[in-house]
Amino acid sequence: MLTISSTTRSQLIQALTLDLLGPTSAVLEQLEAEGQTDEAAELREELLDRPPNRWYQSGFLIPSETSLDARADDAADDEFAGLDGQNLSSKRKSNASADDTGASEAGPARRVFFPCSVGLSLLLPAGAGLEVMVHWASYRPTAPPEDSKAEEAWLREPHQQPLSLPAELFTLSGRSAESREVPGSEGLMLRWHLRAAPLDQGYPPGAVAVSLLLTNERRFEGRSAEDRDRASAFQVQLDLACTSGFLARRDPRAADRLANANDWDHRVNNLHYRDDHEFAVGHNISVAPQIDAAGRCQLISTTWLPQATVEKVLPRVAELEEAGLVLSMAKLDRLASEGAEPVQAALRRPLLRAYTDWIHQQRQTASLSKQQQATATELLQEASKQARRIERGIEALENERVRLAFAIANRVMDAAARQRFGVMRGRDPKAEQPQWRPFQLAFLLMNLVGMAELTDADRDTIDLLFFPTGGGKTEAYLGLAAYTLVLRRLRHEGSIESAGMSVLMRYTLRLLTLDQLGRASTLICALELERRKDPQLLGKWPFEIGLWVGQSGTPNKLGHKGDGDDNSASSRVLAWSGGDNKPIPIDNCPWCGTELGKASLADERPAVVRGVFRLLPDADHPSELRVCCRNRQCRFSGDSTLPLVAVDEMLYQRLPAFVIATVDKFAALPWVGATGKLFGRVSHAQPGKGFFGPSDGANMGGQPLAGGLEPPDLII
């Protein structure tokens, strides 16, 4: 599996490089190493049917004498350049109401200029020289092939030129600035500047800091982009070799003498990455050093597409389970339902002891500087505080309400996981055994007290889950959300006061928001099914999830017949006939995974298709937009619609327990009075209809709520 993954990743990088840069020397070498010599030969002298500036977006150097107009990216949007202050202010006001889901601007507001030089800065030991290999390609206009319909053609001419720069050129006794023309390049210049490496930062005597640049100083006639392309150098790359080895760059801010003045982030980075070294810094380009097993670097190459491998974090589950830790969600539900002692025994000894033992081991770390040791001490003190939070969470399971909320949270997380990884993938959900990763369980435990006690100091704490993609962040905070939602219902003994928005998840991008909607909706479905089993315990008001995003993502209004509003929920539903323009952005049922694009496998008439999205009580004057799964075996088909609210008007009335929002919607808070209801500002509740407050005008009747509803418990 690892080999397949690595091969696929390599192919993707290769395709991206060919698309953005063209056939670089690295890509050609890779193809030849893979035995694809014919493809490499064809790319080496490729024939383009248009100028290279229209093919490749990066990787080239234009001549330094290019006029200012010809240096800019043709796709850049210089719209703001000619606006005076008044017009610019008007333009900003007109965009003030735009949301994150609107169309993107035509291009960047500031013009992007192509580079005419690239380079890097590095450190050489005393008496060291450099071997430089310069790679580039030129494109020349030529006649198109006879069988081609193209009106022009550009032929690639590959070049590479070695330059030997002896140690004498890098001594401070000579000139500090030097240059060499790259032979056969028609004007590519290699220029460098020298300065002494500071001894007070620990560099050896005689070490030299070198800044080396490759500049395109070719001359050309004409002003067009095609004229510029003839004199440009494409797929530029520098390979620098030093047999003595390059010196690792030191962070000047990491010196012990600066410990009191250093920024905290710099201090932490200096500790965590103390064994990782930087050997060069790129200018207009990035660098790719080759470091051997001993930590030495003798070769540095420039690269237009820098890469880094993010290693997957794998917990030592087997070791913890041998020590008695229970990670199974179903088993934790069962243990917590039996009483405090069984579940505490399954958590305290294996999980808490493993974490405290790890903290003790870290205190024994040797080979740290004075500054690093001080930083490590602070970090471990903070880790000990978090260990105490976990311990308090385990102790809190003595409380019957906390323990019941913990049990139900595990129960619904187990059910949601079985649906996502079992039913939705065509597998038997009974065969699935969902379990927590250790950090997820620890995260849940450390927040049990803060969520249960409204005056606890932990409620002022912001916890950051920092893991690579696929590490389990979403399940961690969804588990805490489930506990929070259940705890609120239990705290009010299922009364109507337990309703309202309890969890608010805020995102900046619609794409991320919609991804989270699917995963969180599965959890809310599981919670709603659990509530239906015992409405006396979890309340008669349903668990629902709301999507609060911009108008181009979801409708702001329900609308009515003849209102002429194409963006209303009513208009969108009536206009939809089963295509991609769904009234609200949901493609699949979050409980069974069935595609919602059609009403049934047999009947695809528009009227039936629209039955997936239902306007209730009727399409002429709807008060709700509901989503129904077309799979008749699903728990949310027929009259049992999905607990999803995605129209602003409906959201302000029903106040879903879990709301996913984009940050742009918060601009409406001072302008739309109904948004205050999301934060508990309500005065009456009508069973089955929703909540009303001062923003709704006259008294709408129903059950009075003297104290309103509670504000959100958890913000993600």
HSE (CB half, 13 Å, CA atoms) of 23? 22
Q: Which is higher by pLDDT, 554 or 153? A: 153
> What letter does residue 352 receive in the DSSP assignment?
I
Query: How many percent of the chain have pLDDT more than 70?
Result: 89
Of 647, 656, 650, 530, nearest in space to 591 by CA: 530
Compute the distance between CA of residue 509 and CA of residue 553 in angstroms, rounded to an integer.
Answer: 11
Could you count the other beta carbons within 10 Å of the beta carbon of residue 228? 21
Q: Where in 436-585 does DSSP place strands (E)?
A: 503-507, 545-548
Least confident of 338-352, 635-649, 685-699: 685-699
Widest Cα–Cα separation across the chain: 92
Tell me the average pLDDT across 492-497: 92
Length of the chain counted residue by residue: 716
Q: Taking the CB of residue 705, how many other CB atoms lie within 10 A of it?
A: 19
Does residue 208 carry a pLDDT above 50?
A: yes
Q: How confident is the model at residue 571 (pLDDT cuts 50, 70, 90)?
A: confident
CB atoms within 10 A of CB 224: 10
Nearest to 281 by CA among 311, 251, 260, 253: 251
What mean pLDDT, rounded, does the chain reach?
A: 86
Q: What is the per-residue pLDDT across 230-246, written as a single tens digit (0 to 9) for each? A: 999 999 999 999 999 99
Q: Please give the average per-residue pLDDT across 475-488, as a whole number.
A: 96
User: Does residue 656 have a pLDDT over 50?
Assistant: yes
So what's the pLDDT on residue 283? 96
Q: Are 515 and 487 in contact (CB under 8 A)?
A: no
**Do the strands 503-507 and 658-662 form a parallel or antiparallel pair, or are they unpaired?**
parallel
pLDDT reported for residue 95:
39
Tell me which DSSP letter residue 350 carries: I
Taking the model in full, what pTM does it have? 0.82
Helices (H), 508-567: 510-533, 535-538
* Amino acid 80: pLDDT: 36
Peptide bond into 144 cis (omega under 30): no
CA–CA separation, 650 and 673 (whole Å): 14
Closest CA to 667 of 529, 548, 573: 548
Looking at residue 597, the DSSP 8-state letter turns out to be S
Q: Are 306 and 288 in contact (CB under 8 A)?
A: yes
Contact 643, 524 (CB under 8 A): yes
CA 416/CA 485 separation, integer angstroms: 15
In 10 A of CB 445, how many CB atoms? 24
For 614, how many CA atoms within 13 A lie in the half-sphere containing its CB? Answer: 18
Higher pLDDT, 572 or 379: 379
pLDDT tens string 6-20: 788 888 999 999 999
Closest by CA to 242, choosing from 160, 165, 302, 179, is: 165
pLDDT at 605 over 60: no
Q: Give me the pLDDT at residue 416, please.
A: 95
Amino acid 161 reads Q
Task: Provide the β-strand partners of residue 188.
Answer: 216
Give me the amino acid identity at 202.
G
pLDDT above 70: residue 653 = yes
Instruction: Give CA–CA dist 178/176, Å, rounded.
Output: 7
